[in-house]
Chain A
């Protein structure tokens, strides 16, 4: 599979556009529905976080870039943006949401980092001013 490069300008619909381009680029790997789901879900969460937190409403929009390489141990993805950094310079822990709560306290959010960390094998984050760089390995299409 040729390496994939996707670049979109941050916006509400940018995530759909970027996912569509990425998944089209993965076509030659003939991933099964389970694997496609893993890639789409992890990347949707990573990109939604950038749109919501790196380029929050009120800040100017900026680029979101995805680079993807296929190797024997799966897909290596790098996501970069030039927006705000993560608070404390690191990703949230991504713990499972507590569902043992009253009906009205049932969580409506906080699932994103849990899904990323649950589904991705390696997750690293670095702030290299002015860039945020997130790298992920997904154990799909393994040799």
Chain B
């Protein structure tokens, strides 16, 4: 699982450089997210713009990553491609996360 993390002001951006977060890599993704976000900034933006597909295991792994960060921190999602967006909408998980159409939009909004 190729996750890359960088900081912008008080925010951390974790970009997923893989086309799929599915059952085959869900545990690996969860572990990689834990390693990137432990001790990190209060707000983390997960950039999903390169991810073309997630299944329910991938969705579960993103929820697990949010829970691992704890309630005092925020995991925002940015750049959802059509099928990824569909999974969040259908399961209503788009109401649990702050979801932004683009990474730029998320940065502008969350830096404020």
Contact = CB atoms under 8 A, between A and B. Distances in A.
Contacts of A38: 86
B64 A108 contact: yes
Interface stretch (B2-10, B37-45, B87-95): B87-95
Nearest to B20: A16
Interface residue tally on B, bucketed by range: 20 to 34
Contact of B67 (A40, A104, A110, A115): A104
Interface stretch (A44-52, A61-69, A81-89): A44-52
Interface in A2-35: 12-13, 15-16, 33-34
B67 A103 contact: yes
B83 A41 contact: yes
A48 B56 CA distance: 9
Interface residues of A, number: 32
B24 to A, nearest CB: 5
B107 interface: no
A107 interface: yes
12 contacts: A37-B86, A38-B86, A40-B83, A41-B83, A44-B55, A48-B23, A48-B55, A96-B91, A99-B93, A114-B90, A115-B87, A119-B90
